[in-house]
Amino acid sequence: MGMSPKRLVVVGGVAGGASAAARARRLCENCQIIIFERGPHVSFANCGLPYFVGGEIAEQDELLVQTPGSLKTRFNLDVRVNTEVLSIDRQARRVKVRESSGREYEEHYDALVLSTGASPLKPPIPGIDRQNHFTVRNIPDVEKIMNWSRGCERCRAVVVGGGYIGLEMAEQLRHRNFRVTVVEALPQVMAPLDPEMAAWLHAELRANNVDLHLNDPVAAFEAPTAAEPARASIVVLKSGRRLPADSVILGLGVKPEVGLAKNAGLEIGQRGGIRVNEHLQTNDPRIWAVGDAIEVRDVVTGQWSLIPLAGPANRQGRIVADNIFGRPRRYDGTLGTAILRLFKLSAGCTGANEKCLQKAGRAYHALHLHPNSHAGYYPGAEPIALKILFAPDTGRLLGAQAVGRDGVDKRIDVLATALKAGMTMNDLAELELAYAPPYGSAKDPVNLAGMAAQNVLAGDVRLAHWHELPVGDAVLLDVRRADERAQSFIPGSVHIPLDQLRFRLNELPRDKEIIVHCLSGQRSYYACRVLSQYGFRCRNLTGSYRTWQAVKS
C-alpha cells in the first residue's frame, strides 16, 4: 500500500472504477491514469435503466453520468472505451487489451484496479437466446428493448426473475400499458425480504394487473405451436403452464465477472467473487478490486457475500484510491441497504434477514409493527409494515425491513445508520429524530420499534409469530373492536374487545396459553400486560392481523 504509482490502470468504469480513478486524480496530479472500458459508456446510471424504458427518464443522455470527454477535461483521465482487457501479466505488470477495431496492444501498470462488474445470469435453459429475449445491464441492452417496444401495442412481456431489476422492469412496462407477467422460481419475490414482508409486494403486483407465478421456475423457451398465439416465445414453466410472450426480460440476477482475475491467478472466493482483504487488495499486492466483481464481508454475520450495489461500489473505489496513494483505509463490509419502488409501494431493507441469521446460526428476536408514516391526525398518514431483528442477549440491531406507501426510505436510512454504529434497541428507543405532523410522530416508528423490543428484552411480553398459527391447543384471542372483527377475522379466534377484557377474564381458560392479536400489535400488547398480571400465560402475535393477512391473502 501507499506506493504512489506513476501509472494507475483501471479496468472497468461505472460506479467503482470511475470513482477510484477520479479520487486517484485528486490525490495525485502527476500520475498517469488510464481507464479501459469494454463497452461504449464509461460512467452511466445503470440503476436508472428501467426508468428510461418506462419513459420516466426521457432522454438517454440523462443516463450518462460522465463521458470520456468530460473525464478528460475535469480529471485528466485517459479513458478508452470499446476496449477490452484480455489478460494480465502480473510478473511484467502489463495488461493486454483489444480495441473494437481488432487492434491489440499492451500497457504497463504500477497499480491495477479491477472493476469488472457482474454479468446477467443466463442459465442453460433451452431456448434462452431466442429473439426478443433481453437482459438489462447497460445502455445497449435498453436500446434493444426500446427498439422492440416502439412497434408494439399492448404487447405481452414475461419478466423472468422477481429481484430488483425484474420488478422495476415489470412496473415500467405496465406504465407503458404492456401486459406483464412475472415468473419467479422461489415462493416469493425480492429474496432480501422475509416472506411475510414480500407478501405486500405480491399484492401490489396483482393490484396493478401483473400476473404473478411463484415457486414455478422456467423449464424452457419454445416456439409457439400452430394452436398457440403467434408470439416470439412460449415460456414453459416447470408446472407445465405455457405463457405466450412477445418479449422476455431476463432478470435472473448477476454473477461476478472474474475471468480476467482468475486467468491471472488471483484468488477467487467460495461465492465466486474476487477475494480481497480489508483494504480491497487481492493476493497480488499491486492489484485491487472493487464493486460487483468482489466478495465482501456481511457486516452482521461476518460471512463472505456477493452484494452487487452501486453505493458500496462507489465507496470502495474511493477507499482503494486512498490505499494506493498512502492513506490506509479499511472497508468494513456491506450492510446490503437497498430500496425498491413498486408502483405505490416502497420496500427497503438493511442488514440481515431471518434466512441469513438462521444460516449463520445466530440467535435473534423478530418483531413486527405497523406504525403510521407520520402523525395519524395529519392528512395522508400511511401505515408502514416494519420488521426488526435484534440479538436476544445484547439487544443489538441485526436487520430491518420496511414496506409502505410513505416514509419507508427515511426509516430504513435511520436504521442502516444505527446498524453501522452498532446500536441496540435501547438506543433506537432513545433516538431524537425530527418531528412535525407532516413528517413523523412524537414517537417515530424507529423509536416505537426500540420501545417494543425493550418490552421483549425486559420480559414484559413474549411474542408469537404468524407462521406459528395455529399454536397447539392455545386460545387465539382477538381484542379488536366489534366493527373491525365484522369485516374479517382469523379463523378459530375468540373475540373480547380490549376495553371489555378486565371484566370478562372468566371467559378465558387458565390452563391454556393465550395468543393475543389486534390489528397491528399495540392493543394486543396492552392486553398481554393485563392478562399476565392476572396470572394467564400469553403471547402477543407480533404484527398481529395485518401481518397475518398479508401472508394469507
Q: How far is CA 518 from CA 194, 209, 470, in A?
A: 22, 31, 16
d(CA 268, CA 273): 6
Read off the pLDDT band of 1 (50, 70, 90). Answer: low
Write out pLDDT tens, residues 379-418.
Answer: 999 999 999 999 999 999 999 999 999 999 999 999 999 9
**Strand, coil or helix: 47:** helix
Q: Which three cell numbers stand for residue 552?
A: 394469507
d(CA 318, CA 1): 14
- Active-site pick, 28, 31, 47, 528: 47
Handedness of CA 515, 518, 521, 526 (dihedral sign): negative
Q: Which three cell numbers stand for residue 149?
A: 417496444
Write out pLDDT tens, residues 357-376.
Answer: 999 999 999 999 999 999 99
Q: Which three cell numbers stand for residue 272?
A: 465466486
Q: Which three cell numbers stand for residue 323?
A: 490505499
Write out pLDDT tens, residues 457-486.
Answer: 999 999 999 999 988 899 999 999 999 999
Instruction: At 57, give phi and psi (nearest 5°).
Output: -100, 115
**Strand, coil or helix: 527:** helix
Q: Which three cell numbers stand for residue 353?
A: 434477514
Q: Which three cell numbers stand for residue 310?
A: 452501486
Residue 365: in which H helix or E strand, if any?
strand 365-369
Query: What's the mean pLDDT in 486-491?
Result: 95
Read off the pLDDT band of 59 (50, 70, 90). Answer: confident
d(CA 296, CA 3): 24
> Does the annotation mark 518 as catalytic?
no
Check if the beta carbon of residue 15 is closer than 8 Å to that of residue 317: yes
Write out pLDDT tens, residues 137-153.
Answer: 888 888 899 988 887 87
In the block, residue with C-alpha cell 398479508: 550
For residue 487, give every residue at least 6 positions away whose Cβ sits within 8 Å of its Cβ, in sequence order, or none: none
Query: What's the mean pLDDT in 286-293?
Result: 96
